[in-house]
Amino acid sequence: MNFEYFLAKRIISSKSYKSSVSAPIIKIGIAAIAIGVLVMMITIATGIGLQQKIRDKVVAFNGHILITNYDSNTSEESILPISKKQAFYPEFKTVDGIKHIQAVASKYGVVRTEAYFEAAYLKGVGADYNWQYFNEFLVEGKLPDYTNKRNEDVLISQYLANRLNLKLNDTFQMVFIKEDPEKLPNIITYKIVGIYNSGFQDFDANYIIGDIRHIQRINKWDDDQIGNFEVFINDYSELNQKGTQVYENTPSILNTQTITNKYSSIFEWIKIFDTNIYGIIGIMILVAGINMITALLVLILERTQMIGILKALGSSNWSIRKVFLYNASYLIILGLIWGNVLGLGLLFTQKYFKIFTLDPSVYYVTEAPVYISLGYIVALNIGTLLLCLIMLLVPSYLITKISPVKAIRFD
């Protein structure tokens, strides 16, 4: 039998232990561990969740990698066409890990109703378009179908619909100005078949999804000419690597750009979340460790006589230190259990009921997203336990300084 573990277990289960002077301090230590785990779990879950949610929304409108013309055009509007007759289209077989590639084009115009008008881009898509992300964003109606003949069905954002006082199945005119101001603009009447809300106001305020064949007709392009390609990959962590491979496997007349380069300010901003997460974890473990150190010191002082008796009976310093470390481990694990129960309860409540909302103009999402994974939860608990125990090794050294004779006589 493990003598130290047996003795620690007897101390924990004794009634005098629960009603001793150290009981309030021990409860504070357990509470500090629980609150620390709770805060760390929420920080990791919301930090990673926010990163992934913002990233996915940027990907929804752009893909992971864009293939465009080499030109000086800095706007979102497609100016010079690209031929769809490329070796990498419709399947990018020369690079592994490519999930999908689609051809799109954008045209700047003005949405006009009887009472309102708003500038926006018509993003033209075709039969190859991947609706996976917009299926999640859809709040009303259906997704348009561009697999058959050209049609005037469009998908509009809830933001634009509210500003223009439009609703499902309404029609509106979109005016496309020509480069020659003397020529009459192109005016197309569109019908709203679906309304989406990505929560990313910068995109929602600017994009209407329509048939790419309208843009081809307005720009007088051939049927095989498009504005750019959007490439989707399987693993986001390989974005830079796949971006380089895609660049190497496209013609020299075409340029490639990853979304992290195109929207560098957004991705630099969400990287700051990592620093915040590490900082909060460090502070919480430090606070929890200090509280446990205090509790351990009180426990040692409270059982000074017991320490003297054990030393007199021949127990080594390390053996007695192990008794108190076992005791502290029990308190830490108790705090971890409470922290996990409260933390997971709050996270699952937010995940399914979306109680806490955010300002989309600041955070690009309408509610606080949470990322729940067994991996980081286990790592967080094991890491907290080990770091707290390492911190407790120093104060437990106090036991070696206790004299058996003085300890037995200690009152």
Amino acid, res. 36: G
The DSSP annotation for 165-189 comes to: T--TT-EEEEEE--SSTTSPPEEEE
Residue 388: its pLDDT value, please? 92
In angstroms, the Cα distances linking 325 to 5, 295, 297 are 9, 11, 11
Is residue 172 a contact partner of residue 118, using CB atoms and an 8 Å limit? no
CA neighbor of 229 nearest in space, from 49, 84, 393, 52 = 84
Q: Which CA distances in Å does 209 have to 34, 38, 125, 151, 285?
A: 48, 42, 7, 12, 48
Q: Rounded to an integer, what distance in angstroms lies between the CA atom of residue 56 and that of residue 59?
A: 5
CB distance 40 to 280 below 8 Å: yes
Q: Is residue 226 within 8 Å of residue 104, measured between CB atoms?
A: yes
Question: In a 10 Å sphere around its CB, with 0-12 CB exposed, 13-18 middle and 19+ buried, how is residue 72 labelled?
Answer: exposed
CA distance 376 to 107: 44
Judged against a pLDDT cut of 80, whether residue 351 lies above it is answered with: yes
* Domain locations in the chain as residue ranges: 3-57+267-408, 71-252
pLDDT digits (tens, 9 = 90+) for 36-77: 999 999 999 999 999 999 999 999 999 999 999 988 777 889
Across the chain, mean pLDDT equals: 90
- The CB density around residue 20, as the number of other CB atoms within 10 Å, is 16
Among the listed residues 79, 60, 57, the one whose alpha carbon sits nearest the alpha carbon of residue 69: 79
**Do strands 186-196 and 138-141 pair parallel, antiparallel, or not at all (unpaired)?**
antiparallel
> At 66, is the secondary structure helix, strand, or coil?
strand
Asked whether 60 and 137 are in contact (CB, 8 A), the reply is: yes
- φ, ψ of residue 193 to 5 degrees: the values are -105, -15
CB count in 10 Å sphere of residue 99: 14
**Strand 254-258 vs strand 82-83: parallel, antiparallel, or unpaired?**
unpaired
pLDDT digits (tens, 9 = 90+) for 90-111: 999 999 999 999 999 999 999 9
Confidence of residue 411 (pLDDT cuts 50, 70, 90): low
Q: Give me the pLDDT at residue 410, please.
A: 56
Structure confidence at residue 129 (pLDDT): 96
- The tally of CA atoms less than 13 A away on the side-chain side of residue 160 is 31
* Other Cβ atoms within 10 Å of 63 Cβ, number: 23
Please count the CA atoms within 13 angstroms of the CA of 95 that sit on its side-chain side. 29
Judged by DSSP in three states, 378 sits in helix
What pLDDT sits at residue 409?
Answer: 66
pLDDT (0 to 100) of residue 173: 95
Alpha-carbon distance values, 300 to 8, 296, 322 (Å) = 12, 6, 12
Please say if the pLDDT value at position 306 is more than 90.
Answer: no
pLDDT above 70 (res 330): yes
Give the integer Cα–Cα distance in Å for 242 and 221.
Answer: 30
Looking at residue 303, its pLDDT comes to: 81
Mean pLDDT value across residues 266-277: 91
- Tens of pLDDT, residue by residue over 226-253, are 999 999 999 999 999 999 999 999 998 9
Cα–Cα distance measured from residue 194 to residue 406, given in angstroms and rounded to the nearest whole number: 83
* Averaged pLDDT for residues 297-303: 83
Q: How far is CA 320 from CA 306, 403, 409, in A?
A: 10, 13, 18
Q: What is the tens place of the pLDDT at every residue in 114-140?
A: 888 999 999 999 999 999 989 999 999
| Residue-level length of the chain | 411
The pLDDT, as a whole number, for residue 167 is 95
Q: Are 130 and 183 in contact (CB under 8 A)?
A: no
Whether pLDDT at 345 is above 80: yes
- Measured distance CA(370)–CA(384) in Å, rounded: 21
Place of tokens 């309404």: 170
Task: Note the pTM of the prediction, 2 decimals.
Answer: 0.84
Confirm if 402 and 311 have CB atoms less than 8 A apart.
Answer: yes
Please report the pLDDT score of residue 73 as a whole number.
72
